[in-house]
Structure 1
Amino acid sequence: MKHFLLLLLPVFAAVVTKAQSPQYQDAMTKQVGLLDVPASYTPQSMLDISNTFERIAAAEKNQWLPYYYAAYTQVMSALMTQDKDKIDGLADKAEANINKADSLKQNDDEIACIRSLIATSRIMVDPQSRGQQYGPESGMQIQKAKQINPENPRVYLLEGQALFYTPEQFGGDKAKAKEVLQVALQKYAAFKPASSIAPHWGEPHAKDLLQQAGK
């Protein structure tokens, strides 16, 4: 047994070295930094950034974050585009990437948040016919994320966003949205990302929605 463990040491060392690759960290830091720049939030810019995340993922197949961010930027492009014919294709790409992230990091609250956004983007194609299918899916993923990590501010951002944009006859409530978004901002104030490249998006959007909900 001891001899077997000794044989495995070089393998473990290689995995650790790969996980801490300076090239990986530098590439991810640069791309994640772009997500903190408001000008990046256009449909085309999101796609350009997603392409780079996919290239990083192809080179670092054991890392979940490049797949996660590829999915995030693709679904954000879907949510922002004015061309409804493009939404399903972008949602499909985002779903494929988040499935890969999920295979590397299962039962994760951040991944559940992206799944909620993907379901929301599919509703936008045709709210009348798709709301009953994808609305519950989006809400279920939010609740899953909340159960995994009730301190994740993005959970409350997405919950408040759903209440804000959903028509009242289908359960929307702007007053309730305001309350939930206030909780989101409290959670953002206390939130500390696990690393400089860990998910931390959403606070500016939460502030903007709260301002709108207060009108």
Structure 2
Amino acid sequence: MILILVLQIDSVYEVYLNKLYSSEPNEVKSAYEFFKKMSIARSNKYDLYFCAYSLQILYFSTKEFNKEKFLDEAIKLLEKAIKIDNKFSEAYALLSGLYGIKAGMNIFYGMFYGPKASQMIRKALEIDSLNPRVMYAYAQNLIYTPPAYGGDFDKGVEILKRIINKYENGYKDSGIIKWGYKESIFALAIAYEERKDYKNAYIYYKKLVDIEPNNEFYKNKVKEMETKL
């Protein structure tokens, strides 16, 4: 009976992981609600991690005025995950990226969150420097942290491109956490768009549409970039 229950949970978990990895905002919201309930029901680092990861996706894909709340909740969840496992490189990496985003919002956040982002990415790199998601977080840290606090946009972009090449040359994730390829492409598109480099933003949004031709969010972003070229 216990084995059947475990298998049923694993099966449902897989369904919501697929929703999460689809990057479709409505599917991601559904995944967030599931992982949020799971994180409340039990003390599991992966529930906390996936809930936080879904919030990061929602932050980038929503146009809500007060979307910073997604980052704040995700940060709290990852801090809990690290208390459960202080060698959880994936959590350190994602947390570093979130701190980096906060650091780039204004000069005061930069002074507070910039050093925290650097501390988290150093810890993640110390544990697992070859992990593409650790590399992704390092890139995000460089892109969003102000130069005065160690940020380097061009270096961050170059790291994201290396991650993309890594996957396109046959890299396969092992374990339950399986993201990094599409997300690196999306991160490049966002980074270029925020720099008003609409030509490069268009290139990477178009690449996402080529991967997921039915993704309405990506298609709308391509159309939006076309109007700005």
- The two structures share one fold, judged by TM-score above 0.5: yes
2:46 aligned residue: 65
2:37 aligned residue: 55
Structure 1: where are the runs of 5+ without partners?
A: 1-13
Which deviates more from structure 2 when the two are superposed, residues 102-111 or residues 164-173? 164-173
Letter in 2 for 1:122: K
SS of aligned partner of 1:199: coil
Q: C-alpha distance in 2, partners of 1:69/1:170?
A: 29
Match of 1:37 among 13, 22, 32: 22
Q: 1:45 to 1:29 in 2, by over 3 A?
A: closer
Q: Does 1:193 align with 2:174?
A: yes
Q: C-alpha distance in 2, partners of 1:83/1:210?
A: 21
Letter in 2 for 1:115: L
1:109 aligned residue: 89
Rg larger in 1 or in 2? 1
Q: C-alpha distance in 2, partners of 1:172/1:117?
A: 12
Q: CA deviation at 1:139?
A: 2.3
Larger RCO of the pair (alpha carbons < 8 Å, separation 6+): 1
Q: CA deviation at 1:108?
A: 0.8
Would the aligned equivalents of 1:27 and 1:56 in 2 still touch at CA under 8 Å? Answer: no
Match of 1:147 among 117, 126, 130: 126
Letter in 1 for 2:131: N
Q: Does 1:25 align with 2:10?
A: yes
SS of aligned partner of 2:8: helix
SS of aligned partner of 2:138: helix
Q: 1:187 to 1:109 in 2, by over 3 A?
A: farther
SS of aligned partner of 2:37: helix
2:183 aligned residue: 205
Q: 1:105 to 1:24 in 2, by over 3 A?
A: farther
Q: CA deviation at 1:167?
A: 5.5
Q: C-alpha distance in 1, partners of 2:153/2:72?
A: 30
TM-score by length of 1: 0.71
TM-score by length of 2: 0.67
SS of aligned partner of 1:85: coil
Q: Does 1:120 align with 2:100?
A: yes
1:135 aligned residue: 114
Would the aligned equivalents of 2:99 and 2:117 in 1 still touch at CA under 8 Å? Answer: yes
Please provide the CA RMSD for this pair. Answer: 3.1
Q: C-alpha distance in 1, partners of 2:76/2:152?
A: 32
Q: CA deviation at 1:164?
A: 3.6
1:91 aligned residue: 71
Would the aligned equivalents of 2:110 and 2:149 in 1 still touch at CA under 8 Å? Answer: no
Q: 1:82 to 1:121 in 2, by over 3 A?
A: farther
